[in-house]
Amino acid sequence: MPQLFLVRHIKSQWNEENRFTGWMDVPLDETEIFDAKKMADKTINKFRIDKIYSSTLFRNMDTVARMFEFGDKRYPIFVHLDKGNMQKRGHFIDISDNDVEIYTSEKLNERYYGKLQGMDKEVAVKRYGEELVHLWRRSYKIGPPGGESLKNVFNRTVPFFKRYIEKDLKAGENVLIVASHNALRAIAKYIEKISDEKIIDFEIPYAGLVQYELDENLNLKNKIAY
């Protein structure tokens, strides 16, 4: 039975500073890098992982790279699936035994937070109110000013999941996705058939892992959350 692993990136510097990050590219918080070993031991060091996907945001790709520093002696090479020069000019003939391909797409990026990007979350609460900010962050249909709702994220992330990752899973392959919170929440909503109302309660912590065991028709058989 295929296994699907959802891993949220290691805490970033802006996460540590309690700021809305969205599509901004910021580095990981170096004091949290120890989480990479924990994530590696639960995924690439424990299971046969056939395919790995990541978003194009640096904090997600760097999380993958850090995981490979612990245990697996191969190193990741990033293959960009989005159309453009990174896709066209990133072609190659073959890879060595030392390489492992990581497929990236902005379809797996975090929610775009619009006017909130870079703002301290406590400042946002004081300005807009705690209830409204919570709805912007966790509800399905309500997005922040100028930004994406979770429904918007679902509508770009799940078609990508169906096009690429479902094909891998149906072939019996184990797949690891390393991405940001709301892209993973969208995928979890799809996999677990979580209602629009209940998704507000679903969260994955920084460096958190959700492991799904699926049957041949990709129906959920078992779930483990770390």
CATH code of residue 88: 3.40.50.1240
pLDDT in the model for residue 133: 97
**Strand pairing of 220-225 and 99-104?**
unpaired
Which one of the listed residues 9, 32, 80, 148 is annotated catalytic? Answer: 9
**Tens digit of pLDDT for each residue in 120-166?**
999 999 999 999 999 999 999 999 999 999 999 999 999 999 999 99
Q: How many domains does the chain have?
A: 1
Catalytic site residue from 32, 110, 148, 166: 110
| 9 is known as an active-site residue | yes
- Specify whether the CB–CB gap between 225 and 210 falls below 8 A: yes
Strand positions, DSSP E, 120-193: 175-179
pLDDT tens figures, 183-214: 999 999 999 999 999 999 999 999 999 999 99
SS3 state at 9 = coil
> Which residue in this structure is represented by tokens 């424990």?
46
Give CA torsion, residues 112, 225, 52, 183, to 10 deg. -10
Helices 181-192 and 150-160 cross at an angle (nearest 10°) of 70
For the whole model, what pTM was predicted? Answer: 0.95
pLDDT confidence bin for 46, thresholds 50/70/90: very high
Interval 78-129: pLDDT, tens: 999 999 999 999 988 888 888 899 999 999 999 999 999 999 999 999 999 9
Give residue 35's domain range: 3-225
80 is a catalytic site residue: no
